[in-house]
């Protein structure tokens, strides 16, 4: 996964307005996507930072076209924003109200500058790739897929923090980047059940008629964390043995 971040590791916290403004301006300049997550609702939405006003201590976010997001913001739900730049995850917690405004003739949302912004270093989590003979089926389900039913796919890679999967056909209209899905299970030998996940990357390959997705695990309990890590360690040992045999 490209978003391997170990939040237990030391991280830098920016607290001065100048540091925060200059750091967030990088996200504007590079047009880096932001993920706005409502933890209590288990839902995420994609947006962009379009303006940093250091004089007024405000930020402007691109319009979020979602009735759910608008309702959550109106109800004062706390949310988290995260993005990345230069190999570092940039994140901050929010509880301030987003006010509708216009910037450069475009409708957007204005919010207060955060009091602190966190830098999380990426973790070099081992990505274990399954061999072609190792087939593990995954099943993705939840309220967001109720209309079309559960999706069946195949596990390709896995790390302690997420995995890569593939599905038959074009699912770009069914799956959404930044969206959290309530239930994912995996067949033996991984044998993981009822795991929440977030779609971080999505692409359709028309040549082979398959959709590939990179996902990040959400709220893994202790037992599931141990099962995933144990499986990753097992694949790592097998990969090392295969390399030694080739040598």
| CATH code, domain with 147 | 2.40.10.220
Nearest 5 degrees, angle CA 90-CA 181-CA 124?
Answer: 40
Q: Please check whether residues 23 and 115 belong to one and the same domain.
A: yes
**pLDDT at 146 (0 to 100):** 59
Query: 88 near 195, Cβ under 8 Å?
Result: no
Classified as helix, coil or strand, 199 is strand
Q: Please check whether residues 179 and 232 belong to one and the same domain.
A: yes
Among 99, 81, 72, smallest CA distance to 36 is for: 81
Q: Please check whether residues 113 and 138 belong to one and the same domain.
A: no
**pLDDT at 167 (0 to 100):** 94
Which among 101, 121, 141 is the end of a domain?
Answer: 121
**Is 184 a member of any domain?**
yes
**Is 197 a member of any domain?**
yes
In whole angstroms, give the CA distance from residue 137 to residue 153.
6
Q: Please check whether residues 108 and 140 belong to one and the same domain.
A: no
Dihedral sign, CA of 202, 49, 44, 188?
A: positive
Residue range of the domain that includes 27: 12-121
User: What backbone phi and psi angles, to 5 degrees, belong to 165?
Assistant: -135, 165
**Is 48 a member of any domain?**
yes
Classified as helix, coil or strand, 244 is helix
**Is 76 a member of any domain?**
yes
**Is 187 a member of any domain?**
yes
Classified as helix, coil or strand, 178 is coil
Classified as helix, coil or strand, 83 is strand
pTM over 0.95: no
Structural domains in the chain (count): 2
User: What backbone phi and psi angles, to 5 degrees, belong to 72?
Assistant: -60, -45
**pLDDT at 166 (0 to 100):** 93
Q: Please check whether residues 102 and 25 belong to one and the same domain.
A: yes
Which among 121, 154, 171 is the end of a domain?
Answer: 121
Q: Please check whether residues 106 and 169 belong to one and the same domain.
A: no
Query: 211 near 164, Cβ under 8 Å?
Result: no
Q: Please check whether residues 99 and 143 belong to one and the same domain.
A: no
Which among 69, 89, 121 is the end of a domain?
Answer: 121
Residues of the chain with pLDDT under 70: 1-11, 85-87, 120-126, 132, 146-148, 194, 243-247
**pLDDT at 162 (0 to 100):** 85
pLDDT tens digit string along 92-133? 988 777 777 777 777 888 889 999 988 765 555 567 888 767
């Amino acid at each position: 996964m490209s978003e391997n971040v170990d939040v237990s590791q030391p991280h830098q916290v920016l607290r001065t307005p100048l540091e925060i403004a200059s750091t967030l301006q990088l996200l504007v300049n590079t047009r880096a996507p932001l993920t706005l997550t409502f933890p209590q609702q288990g839902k995420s939405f994609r947006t962009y930072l379009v303006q940093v006003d250091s004089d007024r201590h405000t930020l402007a976010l691109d319009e979020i076209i979602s009735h759910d997001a608008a309702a959550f913001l109106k109800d004062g739900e706390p949310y988290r924003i995260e993005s990345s730049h230069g190999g570092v995850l940039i994140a901050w917690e929010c509880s301030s109200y987003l006010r509708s405004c216009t910037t450069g003739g475009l409708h957007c949302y204005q919010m207060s500058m955060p009091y602190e912004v966190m830098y999380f270093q990426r973790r070099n989590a081992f990505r274990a790739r399954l061999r072609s003979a190792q087939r593990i089926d995954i099943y993705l389900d939840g309220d967001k897929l109720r209309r079309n039913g559960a999706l069946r796919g195949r596990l390709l890679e896995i790390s302690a923090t997420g995995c890569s999967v593939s599905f038959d056909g074009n699912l770009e209209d069914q799956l959404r980047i930044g969206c959290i899905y309530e239930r994912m299970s995996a067949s033996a030998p991984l044998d993981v059940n009822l795991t929440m996940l977030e779609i971080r990357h999505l692409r359709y390959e028309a040549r082979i008629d398959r959709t590939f997705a990179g996902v990040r695990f959400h709220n893994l309990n202790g037992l599931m964390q141990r099962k995933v890590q144990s499986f990753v360690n097992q694949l790592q040992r097998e990969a090392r043995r295969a390399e030694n045999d080739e040598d």
